[in-house]
Amino acid sequence: MKKEKEHVISKVLPGSIAEELEIEPGDKLLAIDNTEIEDIFDYQFLIQDTYIEVVIEKPDGEQWLLEVDKEYDEDLGIEFENGLMDDYRSCHNKCIFCFIDQMPKGMRETLYFKDDDSRLSFLQGNYVTLTNMSEHDIDRIIRYHLSPINISFQTMNPQLRCKMLNNRFAGEALKKVDRLYEAGILMNGQIVLCKGVNDGAELEYSISELTRYLPNLESVSVVPVGLSRYREGLYPLEPFTREDARQVLEIIHGWQKKIYARHGIHFIHASDEWYILAEEELPEEERYDGYLQLENGVGMTRLLLDEFAQGREQLRRERQLPDPSLQEEISMATGRLAYPYIRRMAEELMEDFPGLQIHVYAIRNDFFGEMITVSGLLTGQDILAQPRDQPLGSRLLLPQNVLRSGETVFLDDLTVAELEKSLQVKINIVKSSGCDFIDAVLGNGGNYGK
């Protein structure tokens, strides 16, 4: 058959249909049901039927036509060298708030890639601006009914959106939301708030306009712009103050009340940074509508605290506390944003286990600048430099988000092994839940449970 596109198979899962059919890594998938596969969306759609015909090409050029009887929606059990089965689409905007433009030179090349790919929105939860999405893309999303699609709105003022994205088509691109809404595609939204640009009355207007897409637009998060120290020549943006944060929360809370009264959800959500900057209490769990925007830092701290409280209560039921049997000195390092909450949890565990000593260190972000306070942007070199001369105990605990996904490498390419060697301490990586926090503290080392 004519080969317009071919997709190299990198892995065949044990016990899968593909293994049974003797498909192997290095083979190429050419077509399913005589249909060329453009990308991962076509593949996932075409393999759903209970009977499909698959064309595979072996490394020697021989083509196999395989007839497959299977359960509906059952996967073949193959993975591809390129997860999208197509080239990744880069962003063509010049957003005034783009963090990638605020990074220093000399870091690994992949960190400078700006994606704006609707397929990554569906597969990985990335946010897209719609400016890089063609009518063909919209047609395919509707045809395959791909949900949810995550959209970076920034503002619903078309002229202001063109200015913020430095793209004269950015305002017109908002009309694509109407097509997605009318087709019943579920969406989530994001507004990166910039002081004096899209806040205040502009934020009020944007929220009002976005409510027109309820219930298909399930949630919208408002996050403050991240400002690094590498902004020379970029649009002049200022950090938000405590009073600014309180005004932002007043707007959001006012809309939450109105929307909840009409729709039974809160819809518009402030990221955790706003509450910490404003020095206000975090909302209760019910206000987060099921934590739809955790990856944007919306409700992450509330969920962590609640899970920790539940885990601590379970400890009380299972053990007689305080329990002096655990004798260990350990340390933790985190970003300045999460530090007060991590320290509070550490203090509560030390009350339950008097023989436990925990040192908690707030790492200042010297690499990107002090205005960056989240732990996910900490580098290995800052973690290495700041607690080096402080007591670390038998173990140093670090949050999982300081590492590249699935790897043991920090943003600046320092590895966990290198950090362990330099600090001369064992490093434990802690997952994001409150129960994982407790397990990490109590489950390793020391005399606990012996």
Do residues 20 and 146 both lie within one domain?
Answer: no
Q: Is residue 71 part of a domain?
A: yes
Q: Is residue 28 part of a domain?
A: yes
Q: Is residue 89 part of a domain?
A: no
What are the angstrom distances between the C-alpha of 311 and each of 343, 351, 442?
A: 16, 15, 12
Q: Are 128 and 188 in contact (CB under 8 A)?
A: no
Please identify, among 31, 47, 80, the residue that sits at the C-terminal boundary of a domain: 80
Main-chain dihedrals φ then ψ at residue 35, nearest 5 degrees: -115, 125
Do residues 116 and 265 both lie within one domain?
Answer: yes
12: containing domain: 7-80
Do residues 174 and 38 both lie within one domain?
Answer: no
Do residues 293 and 307 both lie within one domain?
Answer: no
Read off the pTM: 0.84
Q: Is residue 450 part of a domain?
A: no
Can you name the residues that pair with 42 across neighbouring β-strands? Answer: none
Strand order in the sheet with 127-128: 127-128, 149-152, 187-193, 217-224, 268-270
Q: Are 347 and 384 in contact (CB under 8 A)?
A: no
Do residues 312 and 283 both lie within one domain?
Answer: no
Please identify, among 297, 320, 337, the residue that sits at the C-terminal boundary of a domain: 297
pLDDT score at 371:
94
pLDDT score at 121:
53
Cβ-based neighbour number of residue 334 at 10 Å: 25
Per DSSP, the three-state class of 231 is coil
Do residues 312 and 204 both lie within one domain?
Answer: no
Q: Are 237 and 96 in contact (CB under 8 A)?
A: yes
Do residues 351 and 292 both lie within one domain?
Answer: no
CATH assignment of the domain containing 227: 3.80.30.10
Tokens of 164: 């913020």
What are the angstrom distances between the C-alpha of 271 and each of 191, 207, 274, 284, 401?
A: 10, 15, 6, 13, 17
Q: Is residue 449 part of a domain?
A: no
Tokens of 108: 């690994």
Please identify, among 50, 80, 110, the residue that sits at the C-terminal boundary of a domain: 80
Which among 312, 369, 319, 367 is positioned nearest to 344, based on CA atoms?
312
Q: Please, what's the b/e burial string for 234-260 (b: 16 or more CB within 10 A of its CB; e: otherwise)? A: ebebeebeeebbbebbebbeebbeebe
CATH assignment of the domain containing 411: 3.40.50
Do residues 169 and 35 both lie within one domain?
Answer: no
Q: Are 16 and 34 in contact (CB under 8 A)?
A: no
Do residues 318 and 271 both lie within one domain?
Answer: no
Distance of CA 229 to the CA centre of its chain: 23
CATH assignment of the domain containing 20: 2.30.42.10
- Residue 435 CB contacts under 8 Å (≥ 6 apart), including other chains: 307, 308, 310, 311
* Structural domains of the chain, count: 3
Q: Is residue 95 part of a domain?
A: no
Q: What is the CA radius of gyration of the chain?
A: 25
pLDDT score at 367:
94
Q: Is residue 400 part of a domain?
A: yes
Do residues 201 and 260 both lie within one domain?
Answer: yes
Cβ contacts of 211-215, under 8 Å, gap ≥ 24 = 211/255, 211/259, 211/267, 213/177, 213/181, 213/187, 214/259, 214/263, 214/265, 214/267, 215/263, 215/265
Euclidean distance between CA atoms 16 and 1, whole angstroms? 26
Do residues 176 and 75 both lie within one domain?
Answer: no
Do residues 344 and 312 both lie within one domain?
Answer: yes
Q: Is residue 76 part of a domain?
A: yes
- Per-residue pLDDT of the chain in tens (450 residues, 90 and over written 9): 445 567 999 999 999 999 999 999 999 999 999 988 888 878 888 888 999 999 999 999 999 999 999 999 899 999 988 776 666 666 778 999 998 889 888 877 766 656 655 555 555 568 889 998 889 889 988 988 888 899 999 999 999 999 999 999 999 999 999 999 999 999 999 999 999 999 999 999 999 999 999 999 999 999 999 999 999 999 999 999 999 999 999 999 999 999 999 999 999 999 999 999 999 999 999 999 999 999 899 999 999 999 999 999 999 998 888 999 999 999 999 999 999 999 999 999 999 999 999 999 999 999 999 999 999 999 999 999 999 889 999 999 999 999 977 789 999 999 999 999 999 999 999 998 999 999 999 974 333 333
